[in-house]
A = this chain, B = another copy of it.
Amino acid sequence: MLQAYHGKKVLLVGGLGFIGSTLAHPLVELGAQVRILDNFQPDHGANWHNIGDIRDKVEVHVTDLRDQYALRQLIQDQDVIFNIAAQTSHSDSMVNPFEDLDINCRGNLILLEACRHFNPTARVVFVGTRAYYGSPEQTPVPENSPMHPRDIYSIHRYAAERYHFIYHLHYGLPVTALRISNIYGPYAQMAHPRYNVLNFFVRLALENRPIQIYGEGHQLRDYVYAADAAEALLLAGVHPDALGQVFNVGSGAGVPFRTLAETIVELAGQSRCEFVPWPEGALSYDVGDFIMDTTALHQTLGWQAQTSIREGLAQTIAFYRQHHPHYW
Q: Is A166 an interface residue (CB 8 A)?
A: yes
Cβ of A155 and Cβ of B163 under 8 Å apart? yes
Contact with B along A144-167 (1 / 0, CB 8 A): 111101111001101100110010
Q: From known contacts A147-B147, A159-B155, A163-B152, infer whether A105 and B94 are also in contact, taking CB-CB under 8 Å.
A: no
B101 to A106, Cβ gap below 8 A? Answer: yes
A109 at the interface (CB under 8 A from B): yes
Considering the complex, give the chain B residue whose CB is closest to the CB of A100: B109
SS class of chain A's interface: helix, strand, loop or mixed? helix
> A251-293 interface mask toward B, CB cutoff 8 Å, 1 = contact, 0 = none?
0000000000000000000000000000001001000000000
A111: min CB distance to chain B, Å = 12
Q: Name the B residues within 8 Å of A147 (CB-CB).
A: 146-147, 162
**Are A149 and B170 in contact (CB-based, < 8 A)?**
no
Total copies of this chain within the assembly: 2
Q: Residue A217 at the B interface, CB < 8 A?
A: no
Question: If the complex has contacts A144-B146, A145-B146, A159-B159, are A170 and B98 also in contact, measured as CB distance less than 8 A?
Answer: no
Known contacts being A146-B146, A163-B152, is A170 close to B109, with CB within 8 Å?
no
Of residues 95 through 116 on chain A, the ones whose CB sits less than 8 Å from some CB of chain B are 97-98, 101, 105-106, 109, 113
- State whether A166 touches B144 (Cβ < 8 A): no
| A62 sits at the interface (CB 8 A) | no
Q: Are B145 and A155 neighbours in the complex by a CB distance under 8 Å? A: no
Within 8 A of B (CB), among A76-110: 94, 97-98, 101, 105-106, 109
Task: Check A156–B159 contact: CB distance below 8 A.
Answer: yes
In the complex, chain B residues whose CB is within 8 Å of the CB of A94: 166, 170
Task: Decide yes or no whether A4 CB sits under 8 A from chain B.
Answer: no
Q: Are A284 and B149 in contact (CB under 8 A)?
A: no
Chain A 166-185 interface mask (CB, 8 Å, partner B; 1/0): 10011000000000000000
Please report the C-alpha to C-alpha distance between residue A105 and residue B102 in the assembled complex, in whole angstroms.
Answer: 10
**Residues of B with C-beta under 8 A to A146:** 144-147
* A166 surroundings in chain B (CB, below 8 A): 94, 149-152, 155
Residues of B close to A145: CB separation below 8 A = 146
Alpha-carbon separation in the docked complex, A145 to B147 (Å): 9
The smallest beta-carbon distance between A324 and chain B, in angstroms, is 34
Contacts of A109 in B (CB 8 A): 97-98, 101, 152
Inside 8 A of A149's CB, which chain B residues have their CB?
A: 162, 166
The B-contacting residues of A in range 107-157, CB under 8 angstroms, are: 109, 113, 137, 144-147, 149-152, 155-156
| A152→B112 CA distance, assembly (Å) | 12
Q: Which A residues fall within an 8 A CB radius of B? A: 94, 97-98, 101, 105-106, 109, 113, 137, 144-147, 149-152, 155-156, 158-159, 162-163, 166, 169-170, 281, 284
